[in-house]
Amino acid sequence: MAVIIDGKAVADRVRSEVAMEVQQLKSRGITPGLAVIIVGDDPASRVYVDNKKKDCARVGIYSEEFALPADTDQEQLIALVTSLNNRSDINGILCQLPLPSHIDENAVISAISPAKDVDAFHPSNVGNIMIGKYSFLPCTPAGVMELIHSAGISVEGKRCVVIGRSNIVGKPMAMLLLHENGTVTICHSRTKDLKEICAEADILIAAVGRLKFVTADMVKPGAVVIDVGINRDENGKLCGDVDFYKVEKVAGYITPVPGGVGPMTRAMLLKNTLTAAKLQNALLME
Ligand code: NDP
């Protein structure tokens, strides 16, 4: 049976470390601040935004929500981002995705000052990740790396397979594994022999968005299986991409859903906001 990597426990640890550092900053008169922008009334986005605000409050980070109507035009949104770029009490800016279809997400992301881009989606931060010289990492891949480290697993020399090539999860995930000297393969919807490729992985990361996509026959005995996926089963229950109960019998380590990568994504946003505040107050070197 696989060892279950407890994302809630690791996220708790990250949060308390952040809370401690936030207190230290506050004693120097600095309160880290995060602006959270939401456009429209997508219920899932509303839950994410509320959670982010709650998380900030728990660790002493100031957060301010900007809720804009669904018909907000791109220029108005970019004007808001620009005004937040110029506010010294706001260290991090996050625009909840997806945005309504009439708004170009890339244009909005590019308008966020790279120094305040706590999601690390700005092209300049993406480029920094490629060259291995970064201040922020996107929250989900960074959270996955924390989980791997927390279990004492070394990536060096391991065969790593990432299923999914999105800009926010798959691609940066692959890059972080590569930085730690993993031998990395990225799989996607056009990959041939996907099952065979996955079955060779020492570390298998699933970021597909399909229920029970990773089955036990795709997992090498003893492999580390990290489940990024968020899906609902036929009963509305939250599930990942991995057929958990079957795969846990084969894998060496596995993350559950819920309670795996999700809490880490939330915790890493707090860490990025803290880092942004430290950088903007010249308390850290870039
Ligand atoms: P995307 O939909 O952007 O990407 C999904 C990827 O999976 C694509 O690269 C796609 O390939 C690939 N894919 C889809 N079907 C197949 C298939 N049959 N075989 C192989 N590859 C396939 O999703 P995201 O990267 O944004 O998110 C992935 C999952 O992670 C989702 O469930 C999302 O909800 C979840 N998520 C969880 C987070 C957390 O905190 N736990 C945070 C962010 C996301 P192609 O590129 O060829 O289309």
Residues marked active site are found at 52, 96, 119
Q: Whose CA is nearest to atom 36 of ligand 1?
A: 229
Ligand 1 pocket member 258 (CB < 6 A): no
Ligand 1 pocket member 190 (CB < 6 A): yes
Ligand 1 pocket member 5 (CB < 6 A): no
Q: What's the CA-to-centroid distance between 188 and ligand 1, angstroms?
A: 9
> Would you say 89 and 62 are in contact if contact means Cβ atoms under 8 Å apart?
yes
Nearest-angstrom CA–CA distance, 138 and 268: 8
pLDDT tens digits, 51-110: 999 999 999 999 999 999 999 999 999 999 999 999 999 999 999 999 999 999 999 999
Q: What's the CA-to-centroid distance between 185 and ligand 1, angstroms?
A: 15
Locate all alpha helices (DSSP H) within the chain, ordered by sequence: 7-27, 43-59, 74-85, 105-111, 123-130, 139-150, 170-179, 194-198, 244-247, 261-280
**Model pTM above 0.95:** yes
Atom from ligand 1 closest to the CA of residue 210: 32
Ligand 1 pocket member 164 (CB < 6 A): yes
Nearest-angstrom CA–CA distance, 286 and 97: 27
Residue 282: what pLDDT? 86
Nearest-angstrom CA–CA distance, 71 and 102: 9
Q: What's the CA-to-centroid distance between 270 and ligand 1, angstroms?
A: 23
Among 228, 266, 269, 270, the mutation site with the greatest number of ligand 1 atoms within 8 A of its Cβ is 228
Identify the helix (H) or strand (E) that includes residue 38: strand 33-39
Nearest-angstrom CA–CA distance, 132 and 175: 8
pLDDT tens digits, 137-185: 999 999 999 999 999 999 999 999 999 999 999 999 999 999 999 999 9
Mean pLDDT on 128-145:
95
* Structure confidence at residue 285 as a pLDDT band (50, 70, 90): low
> Would you say 94 and 272 are in contact if contact means Cβ atoms under 8 Å apart?
no
Q: Does residue 286 register a pLDDT over 70? A: no
| Strands ordered across the beta sheet of 92-95 | 62-68, 33-39, 92-95
259, exposed or middle or buried, with CB in 10 Å at 0-12, 13-18, 19+? middle
Domains and CATH numbers, the chain: 31-113 (3.40.50.10860), 139-262 (3.40.50.720)
- Name the token pair of 211: 């229920």
Q: Whose CA is nearest to atom 31 of ligand 1?
A: 209
Give CA separation, 236 vs 76, 204, 211, 233, in Å: 37, 26, 12, 5
Based on its alpha-carbon atoms, the radius of gyration of the chain, rounded to whole angstroms, reads 19
Among 10, 137, 166, 218, the mutation site with the greatest number of ligand 1 atoms within 8 A of its Cβ is 166
Among 5, 185, 208, the mutation site with the greatest number of ligand 1 atoms within 8 A of its Cβ is 208
> Would you say 81 and 90 are in contact if contact means Cβ atoms under 8 Å apart?
no
* Structure confidence at residue 111 as a pLDDT band (50, 70, 90): very high
Quick one: CA torsion of 9, 15, 16, 18, rounded to 10 degrees? Answer: 150
Atom from ligand 1 closest to the CA of residue 190: 47
Q: Does residue 221 register a pLDDT over 80? A: yes
When the pLDDT of each residue in the chain is averaged and rounded to a whole number, the result is: 97
> Would you say 147 and 9 are in contact if contact means Cβ atoms under 8 Å apart?
no
- Name the token pair of 263: 């809490």
Residue 53: what pLDDT? 97
Q: Does residue 284 register a pLDDT over 80? A: no
Share of the chain above pLDDT 70, in %: 99
